[in-house]
Amino acid sequence: MSTFTPEDFGFTFLKDGTSVQDLIDQRIKALSASDAKDAFYVADLGEVMRRYLLWVREIPRVTPFYAVKCNESRPIVKTLAALGTGFDCASKYEMHLITSLGVDPSRIIYANTIKQPSHLKYAAAHGIQKMTFDNEAELVKIAQCCENAKLVLRIAVDDKYSMFKMSTKFGAKLETCPALLKRAQELGLDVIGVSFHVGSYCMNPVAYTEAIANAKGIFDLAATIGYKMTFLDIGGGYPGFDIPNVLNFKKFAVEINLALDKYFPVSTGVQIISEPGRFFPSTAYTLAVNIIGKRVDIKKSSDDKDDGAKEKIVNYFVNDGIHSSFRLVIFHDTYVLPSAQKKSKPGECVYPSTIYGQTCDGHDLIVEEYNLPDIQVGKWMIFYHMGAYSITTATNFNGFPKPKTKFVMAPVLWQQLQKISAAKGDQAQLQAICLNADLDADCPVMPGPTRKWRAKGREGK
């Protein structure tokens, strides 16, 4: 991937002074005379670049292996491949997608603890050796299908700080690790290291310190059995965006760096990777949906007075929903809420509003009782930070199409991408580029999220 063009990535350049919001407004204006006001995305690959620069600046010892499942869009993975990241793949399909980009197999970890034999054989045939395991049956399977594998023992860790747990399904309990390592040795398998995952949407960075300490214990245990481990995978769980007073990536970085310096100092020579997913694409995607229907309900006020007071409840129906872009977002990205394309003026009334998707499924509900001003059918709503677990998990349920995506990038970030790609893994040069980069240069992204969202934006035509 020494030379490439914007056409290779499928994006267009942002013109000087043009933002993502401008492009959305232009698209809405262009659709104003049409009945086909389909939902659409604008995705800024420059934002993926900025997240990468932030990662290298804050956690320089840890190589990101992007979790492909989060967003497999070709422009996203191609951008990350050009930047030199590794990839966390869970299936034959994902491995094929990444190798088709020319990514060396050494930059792939087959990080699914339970693997189908045909997928294992695919990995073996294509030189993908790093893979995880957490049980004896998997060891036997790997010995039969992929005897040259470089195995990584996934351990279960305390995920009490995370919104969504993983250690119930994945990871060997610490007390089972001695027997697993001895069984791997009996089968003639090479175990090179340890992996863990603190859970999705981790809310406290101390989780990484505890897990890294546990991993060091397994390294020491393995040494007594005869394995010299050289590889540590600290998993994912990082926020896709900072939330003031709640989540801050830099705080995670500080905690991780301290723990690594304590338990795995540079002198150990251990290769350290991580599996960030939502960290890279979340903020890159902005979704515009059109209000295609509206129903107003009236109910008595909650104080139960007999004075005839009524409360207005507004139900909006938009042309996207949980069977498409919001299939997992509502569960995983708790703080993603809409910004109406209509400003609420000072003193203007807002009403508890429920936003439904377009399908005939009664459970197709996006947001419930969210205060919005009164908005008319035909106007638009904007959802920010929609790049993770959205378009990748979308379906065509009820015959509704998935939203199309327009990919863009600012020229200055394209130039940085080419510089980083040309560095070809030179860590000193890479650090220099990232430290000198202006993370806010030509920044066309939406305003950062807060817990309290407010209606803002422009009128949809």
Q: Give backbone dihedrals phi and psi of 99, rounded to 5 degrees, phi first.
A: -65, -25
Locate the DSSP E strands across 114-235. Answer: 130-133, 150-154, 162-164, 190-195, 200-202, 231-233
Which residues, 6 or more positions from 3, have their beta carbon under 8 angstroms from its beta carbon?
A: none
Cβ atoms 204, 240 nearer than 8 A: no
**How far is CA 96 from each of CA 33, 87, 357, 436, rounded to the nearest angstrom?**
43, 12, 34, 35
What is the β-pairing status of strands 231-233 and 350-356? unpaired
- In order of 12, 200, 418, the CA distances from 214 in angstroms are 46, 19, 39
d(CA 368, CA 454): 15
- Asked about 349 being catalytic, the answer comes back as no
Of 89, 146, 202, 360, catalytic: 360
HSE-CB at 353 with a 13 A cutoff on CA atoms is 26
Query: How would you classify the pairing of strands 231-233 and 190-195?
Result: parallel
d(CA 189, CA 145): 12
Are the CB atoms for 101 and 122 separated by under 8 Å?
Answer: no
Catalytic sites, residue numbers: 360
